[in-house]
Amino acid sequence: MKRLTLFAHYDGAGEVKRYVLFHLSALRAVSSEVWFISSATLSDEELGKARKVCERAWTRENVGYDFGMWKEALARIDATEWDEVVLTNSSVFGPLWPLDEVFARAPRRADFWGMTENPEVTLHLQSYFLVFRARLLRSPDFANFWNGVAELRDKRRIIENYEVGLTHTFSEAGFRGEPLVSMAGLPGRSPLVRFRRPHLENPTIVQPAALLERGMPYVKVELLRDNPGKVRLGPVRQAMLCAGYDPSLVEIDPRPRERPQRG
């Protein structure tokens, strides 16, 4: 299996935090190569931390969000030479379990898959972790989508055009996309969450404990930093401890975020 992982990074404090290095090391264990791209302002020392783990690591101008970083990296490869390409980012803590076990449970018939799906806007795979397989990588539809990615600065347009658009573009082209954990297998949102945030549907924010119970190996940084769904975080933190995830890795930048992570 020849697998390339492209890791999009941002940090408002200009750091490559320990949880990111943990994630990179876990990805390196299941990848032929890991490339690190950051739109943060990193010193040579900070970038050097990523270079110790990854085959390539560089910074770029802070435009285009994660999709801009992935597009730049994909332009440097021949996608047809890889069996799988993984896109992920620094918006999650984890993995809580070895990724080889996660990949072993991945949807077998999918041409592309993600950890979770989100019904906001319309049902789509969430972009914090996406995997593309050979049939799609060898199709002109893959290159055409990424060639059409513009370096937008408007968060909403990026969500609609690229995060949501990716799933629908490839599905309409005849490729099968599936989540590791389906929305169909989750319990309904609690009455408290529905009352406080009636329009918030993102399962990583409103049903995190249920996702962990079903083997989803990540916890969103946004959840522990902001808890926008006002859910109980105790079960989430307990699940992280039970999985052996070092609680000291949970480092959250207290500064205002110049460019929120997507996905």
Nearest to 85 by CA among 5, 167, 179, 178: 5
Nearest to 251 by CA among 90, 49, 48: 90
Q: Which domains does the chain have, with CATH numbers?
A: 3-182 (3.90.550.10)
As given in the structure block, the two tokens for residue 56 are 């390539």
Q: For the segment 69-127, what is each residue's pLDDT rounded down to a tens digit?
A: 999 999 999 999 999 999 999 999 999 999 999 999 999 999 999 999 999 888 999 99
Nearest to 263 by CA among 34, 97, 67, 99: 67
**CA gyration radius, the chain:** 17
Q: Whole-angstrom Cα distance, residue 106 to residue 118?
A: 18
**Bond before 107 cis per omega within 30 degrees:** no
Residue 258 has what pLDDT? 45
Q: For the segment 231-261, what is each residue's pLDDT rounded down to a tens digit?
A: 999 999 999 999 999 999 999 876 444 444 4
Q: For the segment 159-215, what is each residue's pLDDT rounded down to a tens digit?
A: 666 788 999 999 999 999 999 999 887 776 555 555 455 457 899 999 999 999 999
